Amino acid sequence: MADRRTLILIATLAAGMNVALASYQGAPKPKDWIQLFNGRNLDGWVPKITGYALGENFGDTFGVKNGVLRVSYDKYSQFGGKFGHLFYQRQKFSYYRVAAEYRFVGEQVPGGPNWALRNNGLMLHSQAPETMGKDQDFPISVECQLLGGGPTGDRPTANVCTPGTEIFMNGTMVRAHCTNSTSPTFRGDQWVRVEAEVRGSEHITHFVGGQKVLEYDNVQIGGPNVSGFDPAVKTDGKPLGEGYIAIQAESHPTEFRKIEVLNLSGCMDPKAKNYKPYYIHRDDQQCKR
pLDDT tens for residues 52-62?
999 999 999 99
The pLDDT of residue 1 is above 70: no
Within the chain, where are the H helices?
4-22
pLDDT of residue 256: 98
Q: Are 163 and 57 in contact (CB under 8 A)?
A: no
Mean pLDDT of the chain: 93
Compute the average pLDDT of residues 235-240: 98
Of 153, 143, 209, 148, nearest in space to 179 by CA: 143
The pLDDT of residue 8 is above 70: no
Compute the average pLDDT of residues 202-218: 97
Q: List, in order, residues 6 or more apart from 142 with CB less than 8 Å away.
A: 123, 124, 125, 160, 161, 162, 165, 167, 204, 219, 240
pLDDT of residue 151: 81
Using CB atoms within 10 Å of the CB of residue 266, give its burial: 0 to 12 exposed, 13 to 18 middle, 19+ buried.
buried
Determine how many CB atoms are found less than 10 A away from the CB of residue 217.
15
∠ CA 215-17-149, rounded to 5°: 65
Q: Any idea which of 25-34, 92-101, 110-119 has the lowest mean pLDDT?
A: 25-34
Per-residue pLDDT tens over the stretch 259-275: 999 999 999 999 999 99
Compute the average pLDDT of residues 162-189: 97
The pLDDT of residue 21 is above 70: no
Side-chain-side CA neighbours of 232 within 13 Å: the count stands at 4
Q: Any idea which of 22-26, 109-113, 138-142, 170-174 has the lowest mean pLDDT?
A: 22-26
Compute the average pLDDT of residues 11-15: 45
pLDDT of residue 12: 45
pLDDT of residue 25: 66
The pLDDT of residue 139 is above 90: yes
Compute the average pLDDT of residues 161-188: 97
The pLDDT of residue 163 is above 90: yes
Q: Are 117 and 252 in contact (CB under 8 A)?
A: yes
Q: List the domains of the chain with CATH numbers.
A: 4-286 (2.60.120.560)
The pLDDT of residue 13 is above 60: no
pLDDT of residue 19: 44
Compute the average pLDDT of residues 168-192: 97
Distance (Å, rounded) from C-alpha 220 to C-alpha 142?
9
pTM, two decimal places: 0.90
The 10 Å CB-count burial string (b at 16+, else e) for 190-206 is: eebbbbbbbbbbeebbb
pLDDT of residue 16: 47
Q: How confident is the model at residue 24 (pLDDT cuts 50, 70, 90)?
A: low
Q: How confident is the model at residue 225 (pLDDT cuts 50, 70, 90)?
A: very high
pLDDT of residue 232: 96
Compute the average pLDDT of residues 112-135: 98
Distance (Å, rounded) from C-alpha 119 to C-alpha 109?
12
E-only strand ranges, 170-253:
172-173, 178-179, 192-199, 203-208, 211-221, 243-249
- CA dist 16 → 8, 102, 110, 195, 199 (Å): 12, 18, 38, 12, 21
Of 278, 193, 241, nearest in space to 95 by CA: 241
The pLDDT of residue 11 is above 50: no
If one compares 236 and 18, the residue with the highest pLDDT of the two is 236
pLDDT of residue 253: 98
